């Protein structure tokens, strides 16, 4: 168990180091990096630079967590902005105050009418 934990920690460090190098070299609009070997459940997406900060998102599909980091392009370094588990978000049918298109309940009712 300790060996697996150490390997994941090392791979996590390698991914962050590679992402920082990509950020420093004027990255394109986005870059996707995925771990190899035992870390295939972890991947990162680099976002667009906004106000001298470049975000990247680290997603762990096994733990069902999204972590958002920002890199200060003026030498401020790397920092964790927020973390969220999406484990329970997946169980929501609909969320938010604004909806694009019909509500989930309305679609379900229409489908039930057609099946009958």
List per-residue pLDDT tens for the chain, 116 residues long. Answer: 455 556 677 777 777 777 666 655 554 554 555 555 666 778 888 888 788 888 888 888 889 999 999 988 788 888 999 999 988 888 877 777 666 777 778 888 888 888 87
**Terminus-to-terminus CA distance in the chain, angstroms?**
53
Residue 24 backbone dihedrals phi, psi, to 5 degrees: -65, -30
What separation in angstroms does the CA of 1 have from each of 5, 15, 35, 37, 76?
6, 21, 19, 16, 35
What separation in angstroms does the CA of 83 have from each of 12, 24, 68, 99?
16, 24, 6, 25
Domain boundaries, the chain: 2-91
Instruction: Quote the CA–CA distance of 116 and 104 in Å, as a whole number.
Output: 19
Which of 72, 75, 57, 74 minimizes the C-alpha distance to 16?
Answer: 57
Instruction: Quote the CA–CA distance of 62 and 73 in Å, as a whole number.
Output: 31
* CB neighbourhood size of 77 (10 A): 9
| pLDDT for the residue 82 | 93
| pLDDT for the residue 38 | 63
Which three-class secondary structure state does DSSP give residue 47?
Answer: coil
Q: Is the pTM of this model over 0.75?
A: no
């Amino acid at each position: 168990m300790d060996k697996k934990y150490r390997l994941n920690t090392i791979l996590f460090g390698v991914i962050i180091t590679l992402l920082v190098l990509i950020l420093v070299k004027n990255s394109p609009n986005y870059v996707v990096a995925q771990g190899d070997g035992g870390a295939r459940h972890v991947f990162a997406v680099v976002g667009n630079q906004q106000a001298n900060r470049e975000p990247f998102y680290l997603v762990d599909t096994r733990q069902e967590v999204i972590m958002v980091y920002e890199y200060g392009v003026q030498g401020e370094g790397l920092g964790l902005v927020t973390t969220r588990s999406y484990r329970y978000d997946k169980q929501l049918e609909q969320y938010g105050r604004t909806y694009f298109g019909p509500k989930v309940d309305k679609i379900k009712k229409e489908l039930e009418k057609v099946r009958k």
